[in-house]
Amino acid sequence: EVQLVESGGGLVQPGGSLRLSCAASGFTLSSYWMTWVRQAPGKGLEWVANINPDGNDKDFLDSVRGRFAISRDNARNSLYLQLNSLRTEDTAVYYCARMISGYVPDSWGQGTLVTVSS
């Protein structure tokens, strides 16, 4: 069974940093593109970043480029999202997801809440 478990969320002040982790199991992480998607409270879904299986090809939402970094450790079955220079508008539940067949997110984790507030 495919499982994705996010962790690392919490309350942080504007300008602060957090590192989110996503532990993968039930599939071979090194074979898949992975993605992070966020959802502000009561709002819709917003794509944040993608990373290819080797970790050397990455895409970012314009509003997070230069502030967020995506990485992976296939040997540890883990995906990461480093969030720097956080803003109040970054407050959201952050989901990691596996991508299949032409880059479609299919399996999702339960999400981790990031709250940016003073």
Partner 1 sequence: EIVMTQSPPTLSVSPGESATLSCRASQSVGYNLAWYQQKPGQAPRLLIYGASKRATGIPARFIGSGSGTEFTLTISRLQSEDFVVYFCLHYNSWWRFGQGTKVEIK
Q: Which amino acid is at 5?
A: V
Separation CA 99–CA 85 (nearest Å): 28
- Residue 27, interface with partner 1 (CB under 8 A)? no
Region near partner 1 per CB under 8 A, out of 12-20, 22-30, 82-90, 97-105: 97-105
Q: How far, in Å, CA of 30 to CA of 75, rounded?
A: 8
Piece of 7-15, 19-27, 73-81, 95-103 that binds partner 1 (CB under 8 A): 95-103
Question: In the beta sheet, which residues pair with residue 18?
Answer: 83
Rounded to the nearest 5 degrees, what angle is found at the Cα of 36, between the Cα atoms of 33 and 39?
150
User: Which residue type does 7 have?
Assistant: S
The count of chain residues that interact with partner 1, using the rule CB under 8 A, is 20
Distance of closest approach, residue 75 Cβ to partner 1, in angstroms: 26
Closest distance of CB 62 from partner 1, Å? 9
Q: Footprint of partner 1 on residues 29-68 (CB under 8 A)?
A: 35, 37, 44-47, 50
> Which CB atom, from 16 or from 53, has the smaller least distance to partner 1?
53
DSSP class per residue in 61-81? -TTTBTTEEEEEEGGGTEEEE
- Name the site residues for partner 1 (rule: CB under 8 A): 35, 37, 44-47, 50, 95, 100-111
